[in-house]
Amino acid sequence: MPKLDLSQIPFQGGSGYPGKLAEAGAGRFVQRLGDAGGLTQYGVNMVRLEPGGLSSLRHYHMEQDEFAIVIGGTCTLIDDQGEHQMQPGDCATFPAGEANGHHLINTTDAPTTFLVVGTRTPTETGYYSDIDMMVKQDATGSAFTRKDGSPLTADQIGDTNE
Amino acid sequence: MPKLDLSQIPFQGGSGYPGKLAEAGAGRFVQRLGDAGGLTQYGVNMVRLEPGGLSSLRHYHMEQDEFAIVIGGTCTLIDDQGEHQMQPGDCATFPAGEANGHHLINTTDAPTTFLVVGTRTPTETGYYSDIDMMVKQDATGSAFTRKDGSPLTADQIGDTNE
């Protein structure tokens, strides 16, 4: 039925980032609402950030619109313009192709929850703002490389642009 | 910037329904968040229902996924299975092509707000469950007809299937 039974949709941890970058996902737990309800055209996730948690490494999408609304607690949106405090009800939009790397971080001592929506597209390219990494996604999965397309190596992961 | 200035995005009333059916939109006000933030791949609207208000006439979409989450107040989801109470945080999904007519109504004496997401597609067909009406949408706009494609007339609008 259309109304979701939220008690049956777990918050899941984990990260798809390669190597030590996966540590960035340590304080992040995702409840996949859209998937649970049979939606395929966009993803809808409730995300809980524990204190110190990050929504993602700071990034932007080339092909996918992204929307977020804070549901509970306080978090900080960081983008190319700086830091922006986000309270419950505050919203942010990240249009596809807009090269403004962003993420949400929880610098408080209580959990934050936000709802995030992202289009599902056949292919996608994402760029990470603070490290030399990009991701290409297609039906076969995700491939992380340096921004020139060369492979990440253990010593490269975590390199900054500086 | 990505964070929306909600004070600058008005809640707008009005209805696109033909004839006397437009009265169904009397208690509904929509804040177009996605449009304000430059999103094009899906719509994101905050909807306020005053007491007695309806989200829409009961309908389903053939091509567009729809998602809703209650933000404030209490409302009632009505679909083919009956009535479902919706509290803040409760979510519902309506996958494209699933022939389960639905809407949200506010039977309380206080406003309800919910966030709703719907895919933007080049074309769309929607069917109304309680009256003999369908809508086809494309780049030129929306066309409401009876379900057999014949024109609505003044005496037909509001006809039930019974």
Is the distance from CB of B25 to CB of B47 less than 8 angstroms? no
Considering only CB atoms, which chain B residues are within 8 Å of A124? Answer: none
pLDDT higher than 90, residue A159:
no
- Which residue, among A3, A8, A12, has the nearest Cα to A31 in the 3D structure? A12
Please name the member of A6, A33, A67 whose beta carbon is closest to the beta carbon of B34. Answer: A67
pLDDT in tens, B35-90: 999 999 999 999 999 999 999 999 999 999 999 999 999 999 999 999 999 999 99
Q: Per the CB < 8 Å rule, is B40 touching A67?
A: no
pLDDT in tens, A109-119: 999 999 999 99
pLDDT higher than 60, residue B100:
yes
Closest residue of chain A to B68, computed from CA coordinates:
A3
The reported pLDDT for the residue numbered A152 is: 93
Q: Per the CB < 8 Å rule, is A42 touching B4?
A: no
CA–CA min distance B65, chain A (Å): 6
**pTM confidence score:** 0.95
pLDDT band at B154 (very low <50, low <70, confident <90, very high): confident
Closest residue of chain B to A64, computed from CA coordinates:
B41
Chain A contact present for B127, CB below 8 A: no
Closest residue of chain B to A41, computed from CA coordinates:
B65
Computed over every residue of chain A, the mean pLDDT equals 95
The reported pLDDT for the residue numbered A158 is: 56
CA–CA min distance B23, chain A (Å): 26
Please name the member of B4, B84, B92 whose beta carbon is closest to the beta carbon of A93. Answer: B4
Chain B contact present for A97, CB below 8 A: no
Contacts of B141 (CB under 8 A, 6+ apart): none
pLDDT in tens, A43-77: 999 999 999 999 999 999 999 999 999 999 999 99
Cα A125 to Cα A120: distance, rounded to the nearest angstrom = 12
Domains of chain A: 6-152 (2.60.120.10)
Collect contacts of B26-32 with beta carbons under 8 A, ≥24 apart: B26/B53, B27/B51, B27/B52, B27/B53, B27/B54, B27/B106, B28/B53, B28/B54, B28/B55, B28/B56, B31/B6
Please name the member of B6, B39, B81 whose beta carbon is closest to the beta carbon of A67. Answer: B39
The reported pLDDT for the residue numbered B153 is: 81
